[in-house]
Amino acid sequence: MVKKRASIFISGKGSNLKNLIKKSREYNFPISINLVVCNNPNSEGILHAKKNSIPLLIIDTKKRNFENKILLYLKKYKISLICLAGYMKILSKKFLNNYKKIIINIHPSLLPKFKGLNTFSRILENKEIKTGCTVHYVSEKLDDGNIISQKYFYINKNDNEIIIKRKTQIQEYLAFPEAIIKIYRYN
Ligand code: GAR
């Protein structure tokens, strides 16, 4: 099969990146990962790109026109899917208008609940009985856009933020690949 060329955007640990790299090696998985974009030079995730010899762009978001540089790289590497995997910077409207292909994001809650930051503490404060993660198309509004895939689990009464985060990420490693398969199922 001819795989679609994807770029993964990260800012932190990169555990979703690691998982997607592993999945992309499977014969039937619809994407290959041809570029990693990172806005944090201290991100642990950078190591996954290096270890797997994936082209890497580390950008300084304080520089003017940094998004133009990203757009150039996306073109250079013929990227037709962007996966935001813990990329903690909002893409500008201009970027979204310029990149005409697919952009998806993973968020650690059952959207439309708990958009934005500090998700886990708000979930606990709100005494939710279940939570999970969502993969959705990126639109101009934060953590909005059509939902592609969601996975959930029930919260135990002793669960704290660390445990909820861990349980959420286990679901993320299932939801992200599942969403990517769904996108290309009929293409
Ligand atoms: C993931 O849990 C993802 O849902 C979250 O960042 C984490 C990145 O983890 N994203 C957001 O909060 C975006 N609003 P990772 O670097 O280990 O993949």
φ/ψ of 73, rounded to 5, equals: -65, -40
- Give the residue whose CA is nearest to atom 10 of ligand 1: 86
The average pLDDT across 146-166 equals: 97
User: Does 142 score more than 90 pLDDT?
Assistant: no
CA 46 to chain centre: 15
Integer Cα distance of 62 and 64 in angstroms: 6
The CATH number of the domain holding residue 38 is: 3.40.50.170
Q: Is 98 in the pocket of ligand 1 (CB under 6 A)?
A: no
| pLDDT of the residue at 1 | 81
Mean pLDDT of the 174-185 span? 97
Q: Which of 164, 169, 176 to mutate to test the pocket of ligand 1 (most atoms within 8 A of CB)?
A: 169
138 alpha carbon to ligand 1 midpoint, in Å?
15
Cα–Cα distance, 39 to 69 (Å, whole number): 12
pLDDT of 13-56, one tens digit each?
Answer: 999 999 999 999 999 999 999 999 999 999 999 999 999 999 99
How does pLDDT run across 60-119, given as a tens digit for each residue? 999 999 999 999 999 999 999 999 999 999 999 999 999 999 999 999 999 999 999 999
How many domains is the chain partitioned into structurally?
1
Atom from ligand 1 closest to the CA of residue 108? 4
Residue-number span of the structural domain to which 106 is assigned: 4-185
Write out the DSSP string of 21-84: HHHHTSTT-SEEEEEEEES-TT-TTHHHHHHTT--EEE--TTSTTHHHHHHHHHHHTT--EEEE
The pLDDT value recorded for residue 113 is: 97
State residue 187's pLDDT score.
60
Is residue 48 flagged as an active site residue? no
